[in-house]
Amino acid sequence: MHTIRHSPGAASMAVTFAVDEPDTEIDVILDIDFLLHSSWPGIDHLILRPIEHEDVRRSLTVELPSDVELSYRYLRRTRSIPASSPHNGVSPSLDELRALCATGLPDPDVHDRIHSPFGSEVTSSVLIGPDAAWRRDVWARPHPGTRRPPMSTLLMPDGRRVSIIGSTGKPCNRLVVLLDGDVWLNSLDLPAAIARWNRPTVAFAVVSTPDRDNLDDRRFMERTIAEVALPEMESHLDVRLGSEVTVVGHSYSGLAAAGLACDRPDRFGTAIIGSGSFWHRTVRDARDDVEPGDLTRQLQTPDSTLSGSHFLLHVGREEGGMVDQSRMFAEAARSAGAEVDLSIYPGGHDYAWYRHALFDALDTLRIPHRSPGNRGQ
């Protein structure tokens, strides 16, 4: 469970996390992205401690901004010192951090959850601060009578699955292509959110992304998405949309979506990007660099032109260098002629806030609702 202490008007809140753990040889560690990753490997201050006069209960109180919406989970590790640890002069690796994160379990006392974010097998619980003001009702838990939009599945020549959702109205005047389909469908119940959003002339193509190692390969993404998958989608919908296609991606898929919009503005006139990995460089892992990544550098060259393109960028305020990388990309794309909007949301590298940001961005496309008398619910 978690409890919040907050004084009206204060910018922060004290959150106490508590959970039962009977095994005294196990450490329980609070996993909030922007606390855990920024502290690695010195994370002892995130360990839940036994509560006096309690047999199994452990707790930890942390100060957090009062306007965040975030996901969290509890990690578990044995108390024996691992082979590589800061105590023996060898810092744990990124792979060891990922292995620790894979032990995470949701809060058993909190029922608001995001299932398997980032394509993992881990489910996270949701915490909503008292000043979190941007929640979208499209993500409210659907009632049993909610009618889902029509949905069909296309199988691409390479075995990739594309789920087509919506567009019950004719004609379909916009297609929204979402990368990371496993998250949007399995973790977030996108069809229910689309039903509540209620734009009948918009179709959503949710693309499975089983080959994450290729997301930074721009030629691969152009070939598989722009040249193969997109024509199949249009044929299925019986439309020719030109550049009236919006591509959506988060994190590494955000980098891929931005690359598609830069390389094929004739097909992807709009890109919605959450926490894009704009730090990426082919020569090395540059996630901690303060200099711009490869895609931003390309846009900074004099011959880059993106006139007519629209980029809607979102990044979490607590994401450290990702904020600066998003700002550098925004400036470069704007200099190349694109229309660019950059919004900074309270939170970390997290779908808890990004799911709301997606529909904030879609609303800027000014697509009309279905008439009030035919809401489909």
CB atoms near residue 135 (< 10 Å): 13
CB within 8 A of 314, min separation 6: which ones?
Answer: 272, 273, 274, 275, 342, 343, 344, 345, 354, 357, 360, 361
In this prediction, residue 282 carries a pLDDT of 87
**How far is the C-alpha of 34 from the C-alpha of 317, rounded, in Å?**
10
Mean pLDDT throughout 26-35?
A: 94
Q: What is the mean pLDDT of the chain?
A: 86
In this prediction, residue 134 carries a pLDDT of 66
Q: Are 274 and 249 in contact (CB under 8 A)?
A: yes
Per-residue confidence band for 263, with pLDDT thresholds at 50, 70 and 90: very high
- pLDDT tens digits, one per residue of 96-124: 888 888 888 999 999 888 876 554 567 89
- pLDDT tens digits, one per residue of 205-222: 999 875 667 888 899 999
DSSP-derived secondary structure for 127-143: EE-TT-----GGGSPPP
Q: Which residue has the higher pLDDT, 91 or 315?
A: 315
Q: Identify residue 218 by its one-letter amino acid code.
A: R
**How far is the C-alpha of 280 from the C-alpha of 278, rounded, in Å?**
5
Mean pLDDT throughout 351-363?
A: 92
Q: What is the pTM of this model?
A: 0.88
**How far is the C-alpha of 284 from the C-alpha of 293, rounded, in Å?**
10
Q: Are 113 and 126 in contact (CB under 8 A)?
A: yes
Of 4-13, 78-87, 251-260, 349-358, where does mean pLDDT reach its minimum?
A: 78-87
**How far is the C-alpha of 335 from the C-alpha of 356, rounded, in Å?**
28
21 exposure class (CB count in 10 Å sphere: 0-12, 13-18, 19+)? middle
**How far is the C-alpha of 266 from the C-alpha of 36, rounded, in Å?**
41
Of 65-79, 81-95, 276-290, where does mean pLDDT reach its minimum?
A: 81-95
Picking from 308, 338, 179, 153, the residue whose alpha carbon sits closest to that of residue 244 is 308
Report how far Cα 261 is from the mean position of its chain's Cα atoms: 18
- pLDDT tens digits, one per residue of 121-144: 678 999 999 999 767 888 887 666
Rounded to whole angstroms, what are the CA distances from 93 to 50, 90, 97, 98, 325? 28, 9, 6, 9, 24
- pLDDT tens digits, one per residue of 240-259: 888 889 999 999 999 999 99
Q: Which residue has the higher pLDDT, 94 or 354?
A: 354
In this prediction, residue 101 carries a pLDDT of 86
- pLDDT tens digits, one per residue of 172-181: 888 999 998 8
Q: Which residue has the higher pLDDT, 370 or 48?
A: 48
318, pLDDT greater than 50: yes
**How far is the C-alpha of 139 from the C-alpha of 113, rounded, in Å?**
11
93, pLDDT greater than 70: yes
238 exposure class (CB count in 10 Å sphere: 0-12, 13-18, 19+)? exposed
All structural domains of the chain: 2-128 (2.60.40.10), 137-374 (3.40.50.1820)
Residue 49 β-bridge partners: 59
In this prediction, residue 375 carries a pLDDT of 33
